[in-house]
Structure 1
Amino acid sequence: MSKEIQNNSFYKVVRAEDSEGNDLKLRLHDEQWNGKDFITKIILEDKKGNYYSVKPDYNGLRFAKGEINYKEYYKTMRKENFKGYGYFFVSIVFITLMFSLIRFLT
């Protein structure tokens, strides 16, 4: 996805960071970069010099192409994170209830 953002971006790709926080700026433009590093953040720059941090996912690609603005991107990311946390907590409650039910019945 990071290569797609780099190739289709309306903005200039300044750098990318991997999961350890290392700067991958030099390797992004390298022909021999194999893409095995797990990229967690891409920094984009617009023509006015403003920097934007996006994740290499579908919404990051939409922002990079100019389909949505940064406010919409951020709002979408927050909504998806909230959904993920909600599913996680509901599944924990469900599993706890199931173990309690099994313990009660045996």
Structure 2
Amino acid sequence: MCISNNFIEQQAYRISEEIRKNSVYRVVGVDASGVSDLSVNQQNDHWNGKDLITKVILEDKDGRLYYVKPDDNGLMFSKGEITYKEYGKRQKKEDLKGISYFFVSIGFIFILMITLLKFLS
């Protein structure tokens, strides 16, 4: 059984493609790990499944650039469902949630280790 080990890269690529197809803004490029500012045409030619697409660069009618992550919030912004300010708030909220989960899990492991040491001693 073959299992793909680059799930995150494939997910980011899939969502960046959805952003490109469904955006109300003009997609001018992407930032990928190891390579920056790929034009949209180069994205398909360059992507080899190993580089993680970290940002999609969008441009509005006035020429303002918006850098969004290839995730659900970035997709919602590119479709015009939320504003860039709301996108920023959602990203901060998700980042804080991820950091909180990390520290809670570290705390749980620490408490578990101390409990096991007392129990086994």
For structure 1, the residue ranges without an aligned partner over 5 or more in a row are none
Q: Do structure 1's residue 27 and structure 2's residue 62 form an aligned pair? A: no
Provide TM-score, normalisation by structure 1: 0.90
Higher relative helix content: 2
Deviation at 1:19, TM superposition (A): 1.6
Instruction: Indicate which of 66, 70, 73 corresponds to 2:87.
Output: 73
Aligned pair partner of 1:89 in 81, 103, 110: 103
Give the number of aligned pairs. Answer: 104
Q: Does 1:59 align with 2:70?
A: no
Distance 2:107 2:34 in 1: 32
**Secondary structure in structure 1 of the residue aligned to 2:37:** coil
Question: Displacement, 1:22?
Answer: 2.4
Partner residue in 1 for 2:113 = 99
For structure 2, the residue ranges without an aligned partner over 5 or more in a row are: 1-14
Dislocated runs of 4+, deviation >3 Å:
32-35
Deviation at 1:27, TM superposition (A): 1.2
1:20 shift after superposition: 2.1
Tell me by how many angstroms 1:23 deviates. Answer: 2.5
Q: How much identity, in percent, do the aligned residues show?
A: 49
